[in-house]
């Protein structure tokens, strides 16, 4: 039996794995295709009309891409998604801490530590959440931060004791505790990702790419699924939004535009890998510099490098090629 699925990436993996074990032929349907076919039947938008649109899509397009993935890739995707959510939440609380400290310390808090998210800074502000707390124990502040910073804090003066200051102190400490809990959760999750992926042949193959760690490898494998569902490397690059869409109006010249439907985690991962490659891989750095000399802007050259890296990953996973060899002009 053939089943059409919209947004297979957001569908429950347990259900999809169950259907695949039962031998069902699962096909990914572009929502625009099923929408237009549904509108050919009726202007109503109901569950029944949506189902009919999917059925027509599968009937009229037998070459729709198959949904293919394993329990491992489903697990990598789940772990990567949870990690992304935790990092997003951690960033949100870090930004909130900046706001709270700017209220309780003013701009002075930025001069106390080079990195607010460092363990030393968080431990300090957990004990001294407001400027008044530092003034109450200047001897200890001198030992922790040095004479120069202690003088700056003393010269800044304190706030008048108030109920609002007590609430602000509580808010700062609670935010730091939440931030620390997210940090511990991320550390535990990343350890789980490394331990569970050790010895996996696909993960080990990707880790041979300079700058590719276990976290990036699991994101690529989890969100790419079975690489055989992509007919060629350009299709995979388009799926990662690293290849633009072709656009033409009438007899006007053909031009390109950014894609609207793509895998955002894969695009972010390849761009992150491209940044790392500029630092650790001389060949990638030379490719980027060639693009810059051709007049390309920084982001255009970086996107070109990311596309080359997606090409390397695709060939590595489909053809077993294990060496980076960018095409030279």
pLDDT one-digit tens code per residue, 18-35: 888 888 888 878 777 778
Place of tokens 């042949």: 201
pLDDT at residue 250 tops 70: no
pLDDT of residue 328: 43
The secondary structure element, H or E, covering residue 311 is helix 298-319
Q: Name the DSSP letter for residue 66.
A: B
* Cβ atoms of 226 and 68 closer than 8 Å: yes
* Cβ atoms of 174 and 95 closer than 8 Å: no
**Category of 198 on φ-ψ map: left (φ > 0), alpha (ψ -120 to 50) or beta:** beta
pLDDT at residue 231 tops 60: yes
pLDDT, mean of residues 126-142: 93
Q: Which residues contact 297 (CB under 8 A, 6 or more apart)?
A: none
pLDDT at residue 257 tops 80: no
- Where along the chain do its domains lie? 2-67, 73-197, 200-319
pLDDT at residue 180 tops 50: yes
pLDDT above 70 as % of the chain: 91
pLDDT at residue 327 tops 60: no
* Cβ atoms of 161 and 132 closer than 8 Å: yes
pLDDT, mean of residues 138-148: 93
CA 34 – CA 128 distance, rounded (Å): 58
CA 199 – CA 203 distance, rounded (Å): 8
Q: Which residue has the higher pLDDT, 298 or 2?
A: 298
Question: Nearest-CA neighbor of 237 among 329, 315, 297, 292?
Answer: 315
pLDDT at residue 258 tops 70: no
pLDDT of residue 329: 39
b vs e for 281-311, b when ≥16 Cβ sit within 10 Å of the residue's Cβ? beebeebbeebeeeeeeeeebbbbbbbbbbb
Give me 126's structure tokens: 């957990």
Q: Which residue has the higher pLDDT, 38 or 165?
A: 165
pLDDT one-digit tens code per residue, 263-309: 889 999 999 999 999 999 999 999 999 999 999 999 999 999 999 99
Give the other-Cβ count within 10 Å of 62's Cβ: 8
pLDDT one-digit tens code per residue, 189-230: 999 999 999 999 999 999 999 999 999 999 999 998 888 888
Give me 186's structure tokens: 């991320």
CA 315 – CA 229 distance, rounded (Å): 13
DSSP-assigned letters across all residues of 270-286: HHHHHHHHHHH-HHHHH
pLDDT of residue 14: 86
Q: What is the CA radius of gyration of the chain?
A: 26
Beta bridge mates, 25: 2
- Residue 242's alpha-carbon distances to 68, 212, 214, 231, 283, in angstroms, are 22, 18, 22, 16, 20
Confidence of residue 8 (pLDDT cuts 50, 70, 90): low
Please, how many CA atoms are within 13 Å of residue 288, restricted to the half-sphere of its CB? 20
pLDDT of residue 68: 76
pLDDT of residue 291: 94
Question: Nearest-CA neighbor of 11 among 69, 87, 88?
Answer: 69
Helices (H), 30-104: 31-41, 47-60, 71-104
């Amino acid at each position: 039996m053939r089943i059409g699925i919209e947004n297979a990436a957001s569908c429950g993996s347990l259900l999809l794995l169950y259907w695949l074990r039962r031998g069902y032929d699962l096909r990914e349907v572009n929502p625009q295709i099923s929408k237009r076919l549904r509108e050919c039947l009726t202007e109503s938008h109901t569950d029944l009309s949506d189902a009919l649109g999917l059925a027509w899509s599968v009937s009229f397009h037998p070459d729709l891409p198959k949904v293919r993935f394993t329990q491992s890739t489903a697990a990598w995707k789940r772990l990567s998604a949870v990690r992304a959510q935790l990092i997003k939440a951690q960033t949100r609380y870090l930004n909130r801490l900046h706001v709270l400290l700017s209220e309780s310390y003013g701009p002075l808090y930025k001069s106390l530590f080079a990195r607010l998210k460092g363990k030393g800074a968080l431990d300090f502000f957990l004990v001294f959440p407001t400027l008044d707390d530092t003034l109450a124990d200047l001897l200890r502040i001198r030992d922790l931060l040095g004479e120069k910073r202690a003088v700056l804090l003393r010269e800044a003066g304190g706030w008048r004791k108030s109920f609002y200051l007590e609430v602000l102190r509580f808010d700062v400490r609670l935010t730091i505790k939440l931030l620390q809990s997210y940090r511990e959760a991320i550390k535990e999750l990343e350890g789980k990702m490394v331990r569970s992926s050790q010895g996996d042949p696909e993960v080990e193959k990707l880790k041979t790419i300079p700058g590719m760690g276990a976290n990036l490898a699991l994101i690529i494998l989890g969100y790419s699924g079975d690489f055989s569902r992509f007919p060629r490397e350009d299709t995979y690059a388009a799926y990662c939004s690293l290849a633009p869409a072709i656009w033409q109006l009438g007899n006007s010249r053909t031009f390109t535009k950014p894609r609207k439907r793509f895998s955002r985690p894969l695009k972010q991962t390849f761009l992150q890998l491209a940044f790392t490659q500029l630092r650790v891989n001389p060949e990638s750095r030379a490719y980027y510099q060639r693009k810059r000399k051709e007049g390309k802007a920084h982001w255009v050259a970086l996107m070109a490098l990311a596309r080359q890296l997606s090409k390397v990953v695709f060939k590595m996973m489909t053809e077993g090629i294990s060496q980076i060899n960018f095409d030279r002009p």
